[in-house]
Amino acid sequence: MPEQNAGLFGGVFDRGGAPTGDVAWLQALLDAEAALARAVERARLAPEGAGEAVTKAAVAANFSVAEVAEVARSTELTGNPVPGLARVLARRVPGPAAKAVHLGATSQDIMDTAAMLLARQAIDATLADLDQAASAAARLADAHRVTLMIGRTLLQQAVPVTFGLVAAGWLSSLDDAIAGLRAVRATRLAAQFGGAAGTLASLGAQGPWVARAFADELGLAAPALPWHTDRLRIIDVATAMARATAALGKIARDVTLLAQTEVAEVAEGSPGVNGAVGVSGAGGAARPAEAGAMTGGAPRRGGSSAMPNKNNPVAAVAILGCARQVPGLLATVLSCAEQEHQRAAGAWHAEWQPFSDVLRLAGSAAAWGADLLSGLRVDAARMGANLAATGGLPLAERVTGLLAGALGRPRAHDLVAGAAARAVSSGLPLRDVLLAAAEVEAAGISAEQVDAALDPAGYLGGSEEFIAAALRAHERDGLG
């Protein structure tokens, strides 16, 4: 069978992760059919050696273009690819062993089980990349515990923080996403085997035993009973992947804002540049070669088709491109949960593509996230310069606290607000305006006290403790 084409946009949306396209689905369906054949042989419902024969035939790469086309055409007649696939597979199995193909199953058994197999592969690949991203975030948090920068709320400067605290926040959300995915992988991936209406009547008393053997062959959980119209397992997988994508999207949005030319506090680079990750000091912006400069006429990462000066944050942008699509896809998966009686008319069918796309996009976002955080370059000097650029205004809250003891909080608040407005209109530092105010002198506040209040390093609250707690949790939970 020909290799699957990643498509024109595959470099952005199919990066990393496990495959979830047509070839991957076909192999997962075949894996389910092969496991079923082995299970029914174990139950002595098929000839000895039937399981091995079906397994040998159930290799997607060995299917011809004509066989795949036959399966595709049959989908138009039956509403799903399984009946056609079962017929093609049975023809590929010699002699009586063909009896083991699809024995006792309905199409949804094979489709749902294949979805669980794809989910397991996708979760494993996504977890590997999330682990790498979280490790990089932990290194950033540790390396930048005292790297001062301005905090921003509602996109405006607020009070000082450290970049280590920012990275610790990223780490905490990634660790939560990893824990959620691990829990889903451990508890929510189950085989589906119920036959026509969830009773396995065609297998008689051996039906439940075959269901357990089927799950065992695949390494999936054996559910208490078939879950044909109980779609919470599908929802749980999609939700866990969406949570991971949401965590990555927040990080990517922060990076795009911090990497703006006028801000320039971080820049994307190549993972592992100079043997370090994101710990550059002053002048930490990527050098041309590290930013993917044009070499020998080859396209460079971050480049623009029109502006040769550009160094776009491609990894962050790609993550956001993935993350923007997932909520709508998750909503579709959720909307499909209302299913009729023992088999849904349309809602089950509507799951297939959005579920696959959630797996694909979450995996791609995670791969980009590992790349982004492993190569992130931090310009501590630029952070300090941006913090100092407002002449002490971000410390207005602290100065208010200093004056409140002598003037009362409302009066102190109004005084500092007026001083801040005069500092902005005059271009003078807040310190100078405050020390020129008669109320400050009358309150007995010294220049040394004002200077201390305006020192950003002294107004970080519990930042260090929060960073340490995030790092301890990362190590404790086996994520470090």
The pLDDT of residue 186: 98
If residue 404 lies in a helix (H) or strand (E), which one and from where to where?
Answer: helix 396-407
One domain, residues 241 and 318? yes
Cα separation, 215 vs 190, whole angstroms: 7
Residue 397 — pLDDT band, cuts 50, 70, 90?
A: very high
pLDDT surpassing 90 at residue 3 = no
The pLDDT of residue 430: 94
Whether 33 is covered by a domain: the verdict is: yes
Residue 97 — pLDDT band, cuts 50, 70, 90?
A: very high
Which CA distances in Å does 12 have to 121, 129, 268? 20, 15, 16
The pLDDT of residue 478: 75
The pLDDT of residue 301: 65
Pull the structure tokens for residue 63: 């299917």
Whether 74 is covered by a domain: the verdict is: yes
One domain, residues 57 and 187? no
The rounded percent of the chain whose pLDDT value lies above 90 is 86
The pLDDT of residue 479: 62
Whether 471 is covered by a domain: the verdict is: no
pLDDT surpassing 80 at residue 295 = no
Whether 126 is covered by a domain: the verdict is: yes
Query: For residue range 134-178, what is the model confidence (pLDDT) as tens digits?
Result: 999 999 999 999 999 999 999 999 999 999 999 999 999 999 999
Task: Residue 206: count other Cβ atoms within 10 Å of its Cβ.
Answer: 15
Compute the average pLDDT of residues 69-95. Answer: 96
Compute the average pLDDT of residues 447-454. Answer: 94
Cα separation, 228 vs 194, whole angstroms: 8
Domain end, chosen from 386, 411, 439, is at: 386
- Which listed residue (301, 343, 411, 422) is catalytic? 343
**Residue 304 is among the residues annotated as catalytic for this protein:** yes
Average pLDDT, the chain: 91
Compute the average pLDDT of residues 348-358. Answer: 97
The SS3 call for residue 11 is helix
CATH number at residue 374: 1.20.200.10
* Count of domains observed in the chain: 3
- Which listed residue (64, 73, 202, 304) is catalytic? 304
pLDDT surpassing 70 at residue 396 = yes
Query: For residue range 355-384, what is the model confidence (pLDDT) as tens digits?
Result: 999 999 999 999 999 999 999 999 999 999
Strands 156-162 and 148-153: antiparallel
Residue given tokens 């690819």 in the structure block: 81
CATH number at residue 406: 1.10.40.30
Cα separation, 64 vs 51, whole angstroms: 22
Pull the structure tokens for residue 94: 């010699």
One domain, residues 324 and 350? yes
Query: For residue range 329-338, what is the model confidence (pLDDT) as tens digits?
Result: 999 999 999 9
The pLDDT of residue 220: 98
The pLDDT of residue 78: 96
Query: For residue range 406-431, what is the model confidence (pLDDT) as tens digits?
Result: 899 999 999 999 999 999 999 999 99
Domain end, chosen from 337, 362, 386, is at: 386
Highest mean pLDDT range out of 34-43, 272-281, 386-395? 34-43
Query: For residue range 259-294, what is the model confidence (pLDDT) as tens digits?
Result: 999 999 999 986 544 334 444 443 333 333 333 444
Whether 479 is covered by a domain: the verdict is: no
Whether 127 is covered by a domain: the verdict is: yes
Give the residue among 264, 270, 304 at the shortest CA–CA distance from 285.
Answer: 264
CATH number at residue 87: 1.10.275.10
One domain, residues 152 and 209? no
Task: Residue 66: count other Cβ atoms within 10 Å of its Cβ.
Answer: 8
One domain, residues 250 and 357? yes
Q: Which residues pair with 73 in a beta bridge?
A: none
Contact 174, 480 (CB under 8 A): no
What is the DSSP-derived secondary structure letter of residue 266?
A: E
Q: Which domain holds residue 314?
A: 118-192+227-386
One domain, residues 314 and 265? yes
One domain, residues 88 and 139? no
Cα separation, 479 vs 364, whole angstroms: 21
> String of b and e for 439-461 (b: at least 16 CB within 10 Å)?
bbeebebeeeebeebbebeebbe
Which CA distances in Å does 373 have to 18, 103, 135? 21, 49, 9
Whether 138 is covered by a domain: the verdict is: yes
The SS3 call for residue 334 is helix
One domain, residues 315 and 268? yes
One domain, residues 268 and 178? yes
Residue 104 backbone zone (phi > 0: left; psi -120 to 50: alpha; other: beta): left
Cα separation, 73 vs 67, whole angstroms: 10
Pull the structure tokens for residue 384: 């300090």
Whether 7 is covered by a domain: the verdict is: yes
Query: For residue range 304-320, what is the model confidence (pLDDT) as tens digits?
Result: 555 555 679 999 999 99
Higher-pLDDT residue of 478, 427: 427
One domain, residues 425 and 312? no
Contact 60, 33 (CB under 8 A): no
Pull the structure tokens for residue 116: 């669980």
One domain, residues 41 and 184? no
One domain, residues 419 and 357? no
The pLDDT of residue 191: 98
Compute the average pLDDT of residues 238-249. Answer: 98
